[in-house]
Structure 1
Amino acid sequence: MEELTGTVLAGESFRPVRGRVVVEDGRIEAVEETDTESTDIVLPAFVNAHTHLGDSVAKEAAVGLTLEEAVAPPESLKHRRLAAADRADLVSAMRRTLRFMHRTGTVSCLDFRENGVAGARALREAAAPVDVDPFIFGSDDPEVLDVADGYGASGANDDEFADERAACEDRGVPFAIHAGEPDATDIHPALDLGPDLLVHMVHAGREHLERVADESVPVAVCPRANEVLGVGTPPVRELLDHATVALGTDNVMLNPPSMFREMAYTAKRFDVTASEVLRMATAAGAEVAGLDCGVVEPGRRAALLVLDGDSDNLAGSEDPVRAVVRRATALDVERVVV
């Protein structure tokens, strides 16, 4: 049995509780109010709701390029670099990114892995020695579902994807698809596929928002990547009013997969509360992938992040949730408990 003490951000609301979290056999046994001198902040570890870890072989290579030049299949810089990458170098690069993610508080990510079965297997190998468990959305062929956890489609304007959607339905695994990133033309076609997750939705209008709400489709947003690629700004407030919204960092080639940076940007750029942003970075992504984490409450898997609330950066913060979302950095991390 292990006890983590300090200010615990407990439950779905992240209510600050001065006390302790009791962990036994990898699960949270209790969250209790008690006297403590600890200045630590205990919160759920992050779930990054959208990554492209293969991009680790081309960090910063696409800066200044358009969306089509940088990442559009099949001839973009990204896909050329992936095709040319040595497998051992690819596995090593993804593993280093996963180690960075762990050190910055992330325990899982929803990764769109290119290159079919071989790509999914490479990511499994990369993750094997690291305490980050990627939820792999595979690509190219329905047979990738023998290795991956679901299927990740590039966009409804790129291909039909009906066979891939049907394969996911048969196996009871999620189907995710990019939508509304360059423009709105692929949003309704994406929704026609009955997805379990939409990614980006930068150009979502009222008719799309209403349909997302009616069909209860969750959305992953990646505001920093949208900014770098110049595609626009996702309507985060409106999306939150209509759907479950999770937060992702998108292409490793464009931005480091730091949920601290993504949360701070989102909190300061959009009309959202700190609690909403923290939920986007934890419970929402876990919910999308069916992961048993993202909330500090009894019975949950103990996937926890411990910050030094008395660090030079966080000391004196009046609101621990705001401090975590708007101010905290990797330097404030004391432990990641998995």
Structure 2
Amino acid sequence: MRLEGTVLRGPELEPISGRVVVEDGEITSVEEVETDSTDIVLPAFVNAHTHLGDSIAKEAGEGLSLDDLVAPPDGLKHRLLRAASTDEKVGAMARSLRMMETGGTAACLEFREGGVDGVDVIRQALTDRDIEAVVLGRETESAMEVSDGFGASGARDAEFGSLRNATEKAGKLFGIHAGERDSLDINAALDLDPDFLVHMVHPESLHLERVEDSEIPIVVCPRSNLVTGVGVPPIRELVERTTVALGTDNVMLNSPSMFREMEFASKLADVPATEVLKMATVNGAEIAGLDYGVVEAGRPAKLLVLDGESDNLTGVQDVVRAVVRRAGMADIKDVYL
């Protein structure tokens, strides 16, 4: 297979006129050649933070605080999940996974409620899907053991030291929410030396210094933070200090669209469009331990092709900026997962 057009090549997403050659699901070469194609070829997205169980309750809980919406164990989300049948949860999550596939997302990093049973539910939802999910179990060590790691709610909610040690011993990922409501749980989260933090809406100078020294990656979810009224993360300050990725967070609150998340982050934060696209591709893949997010030889051919002649994209002057701030699902020509 050969894909031609403007190729966003390599980890820096350099726009070139070129051709991507794919054999047996692997990129074998990226050639810089003249082409008449107006297509835009880029890496498929990695959504670095999702809660897909919320797919059963989209737009529920208007006016509720963050704690009332999602705090364990009795936030609205958790009550709705307990009340839903397995078939309802599997069906709703499968629809969200299908939407992400259609929208060019190759993988997501899922914080999965419900212990061992919750991990099993998403495995069922992934049946016959092309998208990959790196699943972090929650609530119990057993959930970690049957999944790809552990996703902690936050250092204010429980003591996670033993679970952090068990996850590290198992050689799996440990992520934790931090700094979402305020700054009070950030030091305790950093003390756990997690593989990544989620949110970091309220870091103070000391926390930013610690992040820079430790090089702990951060996943930001600005649309979700705005909806829940906790503020928005200081994306530029975080990007200056560590690897930052994008996630869409709860499906209850936001569609799992990386196009929408990129546009919002780009228009909110004073960072280059290329940096935002890296947050949606290579950086998320790096945090999740996946060999995706880059168009270069030897990588899996997880690719997204946009129609540069769509009504929305025709006439763009800056291709990367257009992908980040303007493109949407209607502009997709092909997805290769």
Q: Same fold (TM over 0.5)?
A: yes
Pairs aligned (count)? 337
Match of 2:250 in 1: 251
Cα pair 1:63 1:254 within 8 Å, conserved: no
Deviation by residue 1:77-99 (Cα, 9 ceiling, x = unmatched): 10000111100110000000000
Partner of 1:40: 39
The residue that corresponds to 2:310 in the other structure is 311
Q: Secondary structure at the match of 1:136?
A: strand
Q: Which letter does structure 2 place at the counterpart of 1:336?
A: V
CA shift, 1:248, in A, is 0.4
SS of the counterpart of 2:312?
coil
**For each residue in 1:66-112, what CA deviation from the matched residue of structure 2 results, as whole angstroms up to 9, or x when unmatched?**
10111111111100001111001100000000000011110100110
Q: How does 1:73-222 map to 2 (within 5 A)?
A: 73-222=72-221
Deviations 1:216-262 (A, max 9, x none): 10000000000000001101000001110000000000000000000
1:311 positional shift? 0.2
Task: Tell me if the contact between 1:116 and 1:141 (Cα under 8 Å) persists in the aligned partners.
Answer: yes
Structure 1 residues 193-219: Cα deviation after superposition (integer angstroms, max 9, x where no partner)? 110010000001111011011111000
Residue type at the aligned position of 2:171 = G
The DSSP-based 3-state class of the residue aligned with 1:305 is strand
Q: Tell me, what secondary structure is at the counterpart of 2:29?
A: strand
Contact preservation (8 Å) 1:178, 1:200: yes
In structure 2, what is the Cα distance between the partners aligned to 1:150 and 1:161? 13
Question: In structure 2, the residue corresponding to 1:202 is in which secondary structure?
Answer: coil
Q: In structure 1, how many angstroms separate the alpha carbons of the residues matched to 2:112 and 2:61?
A: 18
TM superposition shift of 1:63: 2.7
1:282 aligns with 2:281: yes
Letter in 1 for 2:308: G
- The correspondence of residues 220-239 of structure 1 with structure 2, limited to 5 A, is 220-239=219-238
In 1: Cα distance, 2:208 partner to 2:120 partner: 36
CA distance in 2, matches of 1:188, 1:105: 36
Q: Which residue matches 1:57?
A: 56
Task: Measure the CA separation in 2 of the matches of 1:336 and 1:151.
Answer: 30
Q: Deviations over 1:123-171 (max 9, x none)?
A: 0110121111111011111111332101000000100011211111111
CA–CA separation in structure 2 for the residues paired with 1:314 and 1:168? 45
Output the CA distance in 1 between the equivalents of 2:212 and 2:24: 38
Deviation at 1:118, TM superposition (A): 0.6
Secondary structure class of the residue paired with 2:252? coil
CA RMSD between the two structures: 0.7
CA distance in 1, matches of 2:127, 2:291: 19
Give the counterpart letter for 2:294 in structure 1: V
Distance in 2 of aligned mates of 1:142 and 1:73: 17
Please give the per-residue CA displacement for 1:178-202, whole angstroms capped at 9, x wherever unaligned: 0000011100000111100100000
Q: 1:31 maps to what in 2?
A: 30
Q: Helix, strand or coil: the match of 2:322?
A: helix
CA distance in 1, matches of 2:133, 2:4: 28
Provide Cα deviations, 1:250-304, integer angstroms capped at 9, x if missing partner: 0000000000000001111110110000000000000001101001111111100
Contact 1:293–1:303 (CA<8 Å) still a contact in 2? yes
**Aligned counterpart, 1:5:** 4
Q: Distance in 2 between matches of 1:323 and 1:117?
A: 42
Q: In structure 1, the residue corresponding to 2:291 is in which secondary structure?
A: coil
Structure 2 unmatched ranges of 5 or more = none
SS of residue matched to 2:202: coil
TM-score by length of 2: 0.99
The separation in 1 between residues aligned to 2:56 and 2:265, in whole angstroms, is 27
Gaps of 5+ in 1: none
Q: TM-score, normalised by structure 1?
A: 0.99
Q: Structure 2: how far apart are the matches of 1:64 and 1:302?
A: 43
Counterpart-to-counterpart distance in 2, 1:139 and 1:188: 21
The SS at the match of 2:219 is: strand
Aligned counterparts of 1:291 and 1:128: Cα–Cα separation in 2? 20
Report the secondary structure of 1:175's partner residue.
strand
Partner of 1:325, secondary structure, is helix
| 1:268 equivalent in structure 2 | 267
